[in-house]
Structures are given as structure tokens and as C-alpha cells.
Amino acid sequence: MTKSEIKFLSGPQSRFKEFLFAFNILTQFIKGFRALHFIGPCITVFGSARFKEDHEYYKFTRKATAEFAKLGFTIMTGGGPGIMEAANRGAKDVGGRSVGCNIQLPKEQDPNPYLDKWVEIKHFFVRKVLLVKYSFAFVVMPGGFGTLDEYFEAITLIQTKKIGDFPVIIFCKDFHQKLIEHTYLMKEKGTITEADLSLFLVTDSIEEAVELIKEESIKRHGLKVEERIKPFKWLFESRFKF
């Protein structure tokens, strides 16, 4: 976190400082909205920044997102290395669109080279809103605290009807076995319902994931992935267009 964030989260500040922080958040949202307004329907991929290109998870992610991009979706990630790079790279492999919403951190923050467009955001909560806002499916790959945070943010919004009932696909059963076991434990203890278990798909099959996206993202929501919003020149939006 920046010094301003640490200060903000440490308790009440002066009214003027609170106003300045709120204004800064507003400018971050406007920056993100302007940069990403024309990217089209997205599939967002969550995953670790720490896997190299020779790792099996990197290779699998690259292969999977190539198939998703063939459906006409823009592939969106956090914009960094590792799984994020693999996802963006998969889109570029097949001539698809690739975008990133990068977070400014002391390390693991540089945008990967497979992005057509990216925006850099200071605050995690702003970044998470942008990663969710433009997406019609969410893909969870192996990752750490940040990946789980993003996954639970998305599935909580679906569970509570704050966003549409979009597919959530968890790949790599071996890595996520304990997470899935804990999810079923939550159901047994009554903290989630039987219906909540249908909010996500656990699979190692790219083909199964593609079919789910076709049915639950494209057909169910009447999605036309090739439609694009036209920019307004008087708002200087032309330079933000893909």
C-alpha cells in the first residue's frame, strides 16, 4: 500500500484528507472506465504472477485462453507476469484481444508484453471492480491470496445477485482440491446452500469450459461478442478505442 492508503486505513483523518482520498479514488475509477469502455465483452482470468512459461499451469492457461478468445471474447487479466501473462499470450496466439488491469506494487507489477491495452491502478478494490465490471465469465487458475480474493469477490457478487449469474470456472483440480473440500464443508455446516455449489464448475477440460461459456455467457445472456461501443470524439474517446 502507499503511505496515503496506510494513513487512510489507520482510522479517521481530517475531513479535508478524507475528501482528497475520496477524490483520488474517483479519478482512479474514471481513468479505468475511460481506458476499458471499448474493450468489448471479456473473460477475466485470475492466477498467480509467479509461474514461469515452462510451468504446466502457464502452458495450460495459454492453451485455454486461446480457445476462449476464439469465441470472440477479450481476455482480461491483472496485467502482470505468470498466469496473467499466459492468459494474455493465449489470446494473442489466435489474434484475439488482450487487456490488463495492472496494480502498482513494489514488485511483480510490470505489464506483460502481450497486452493490447492496459490501465494501471493504485488500489486493489478499484482494480477488482474493473476486473468484474466488463466480464461475462471468470476463470480461476492456481494462485495465492490475491487470486482467492478475486475469486471469492466474483462468486460472492454472483451469489448475492449483485452481478449476473456468469460462469465461474476453476481449473486444475489437483491444486484446488482442499479449497473445494472446504467449500463442501461450508455447505455441510450451513454457511452456504446446496444451490451455491452450482455457482462454479471445477474441471480440467478446456472443452467443457468452452461449452459452459457458450451456454451460460453467450446464449443465456444473448451476448453478441463482436458488438462494439462507438466513441464520442467530443469526449476525446477515439484514442481509447481498440
**Of the ranges 24-28, 35-39, 107-111, 168-172, the best mean pLDDT one:** 168-172
What is the mean pLDDT of the segment spanning 210-236? 82
Looking at residue 6, its pLDDT comes to 73
CA dihedral 195, 57, 220, 99 (to 10 degrees): 130
| pLDDT confidence bin for 233, thresholds 50/70/90 | confident
- CA distance to 119, 146, 235, 239, 242, per residue, from 34 (Å): 10, 25, 10, 10, 12
> 111-130 pLDDT, tens per residue?
999 999 999 998 889 999 99
Q: Domain extents for the chain?
A: 3-223+231-240
What is the mean pLDDT of the segment spanning 84-108? 90
Picking from 212, 82, 195, 208, the residue whose alpha carbon sits closest to that of residue 141 is 82
Question: Residue 154: which residues within 8 A CB-CB, separation 6 or more?
Answer: 44, 46, 132, 138, 163, 168
> 194-205 pLDDT, tens per residue?
999 999 999 999
CA distance 121 to 104: 6
DSSP strand pairing (42-46 vs 135-140): parallel
Whole-prediction pTM value?
0.91
On whether the 3-223+231-240 domain is CATH 3.40.50.450, my answer is: yes
> 33-58 pLDDT, tens per residue?
998 998 999 999 999 999 999 999 99
